[in-house]
Structure 1
Amino acid sequence: NDTREARRAVVDAMPLLIEASNVVVVSVDRGNSAPRDNVADVERFLARHGVKARSEVLDARGSEQADLLLRIGHEIAADLIVLGGYGHSRVREMTFGGVTRSVLRSGSLHRFISN
């Protein structure tokens, strides 16, 4: 569940997020989920902990999810990308790749990946 993974990552990164001056919650719309509901849920969770955040929903049709996340990270000059890692089994990630592996291979931004 994308929301559960996101929430776990947010909880793990909360000490950093509380100190951040700008937090952007990003969800990737793959055409098969409710990304606006997911980002709204994470925003409410952050607000309950005193973190003011805004959200972005990116259309992933025709694009790689990791590329979209890294691109918006560069566009907003992010200091850190926080994400839940290995949402699929490790075997599937190792065989077919995945967002986690792609983001890890990119050395362009600091990453906080919660498993």
Structure 2
Amino acid sequence: MAVKLTERAAEEVKRFQKEHNFGDDMVLRIGIAAGGCSGFSYTLNFDDSFDDKVDTKYDHHGVAVVVDKKSALYLDGTTVDWYESLEKQGFTFENPNAVKSCGCGSSFQA
């Protein structure tokens, strides 16, 4: 499986790219970092580099998504969505590999 970006999340990524005048060479890099209250934190950023030796590249709804192979071990099957309500908005991660997650959903334990 892979990391999946929903159509709503892809629309938000495209809006952000357009708003910040990012070129077509920019990809959305999704990964993990040590830290957070549960052990690992999710990372999302834009990057203009891709190395097929250490990265895997996907296309979801017209958005190029890159995941490094180390992060892919923890993110396999994860769905990234966009959530918006009156009190908050942002990307959410539905990770089937997470044994435990923090209350805010920004970190997890595998």
- TM-score in terms of structure 1 length: 0.33
| The structure with more strand, counted as a fraction of residues | 2
Q: Counting helix residues as a fraction of each chain, which structure ranks higher?
A: 1
TM-score (norm 2): 0.34
